[in-house]
Chain A
Amino acid sequence: MVTKNQKHVNTNPESEPNLKGTLISVSILGAILLVTWIGALMLFLLR
Chain B
Amino acid sequence: MHLHKYEKYWLGAGIVGLIVFLIILGFGAFYLGTHPQSHGEIIDPENIEANDAFKPENRGLTKVDEGRYVLNIVASAFNYDLGTDESGAPIKNIEIPAGSKVLVQATTPDVIHGLNFAGTNINMMVEPGYVSTMEVELNNPGEYTLVCNEYCGVGHHLMYGSLEVVE
A–B contact (CB under 8 angstroms): yes
Contacts from A to B (Cβ < 8 Å): 13, 16-17, 19-20, 22-23, 26-27, 30, 33-34, 37, 41, 44, 46-47
Contacts from B to A (Cβ < 8 Å): 2, 4-7, 9-10, 13-14, 17, 21, 24, 119-121, 140
Contact, CB under 8 Å: A23 / B2: no
Contact, CB under 8 Å: B21 / A16: no
Contact, CB under 8 Å: B119 / A17: no
What are the residues of chain B within 8 A of A46 when measuring CB–CB?
A: 140
- Min CB distance A12 to B, Å, is 11
Contact, CB under 8 Å: B24 / A23: no
State the CA gap A26–B121 with chains docked (Å). 33
What are the residues of chain B within 8 A of A17 when measuring CB–CB?
A: 4
What are the residues of chain B within 8 A of A16 when measuring CB–CB?
A: 4-5
Contact, CB under 8 Å: A23 / B21: no
Contact, CB under 8 Å: B14 / A30: yes
Contact, CB under 8 Å: B140 / A47: yes
**Contact status of A37 and B120, CB under 8 A, knowing A16-B4, A19-B4, A26-B10:** no
What are the residues of chain B within 8 A of A23 when measuring CB–CB?
A: 6, 9-10
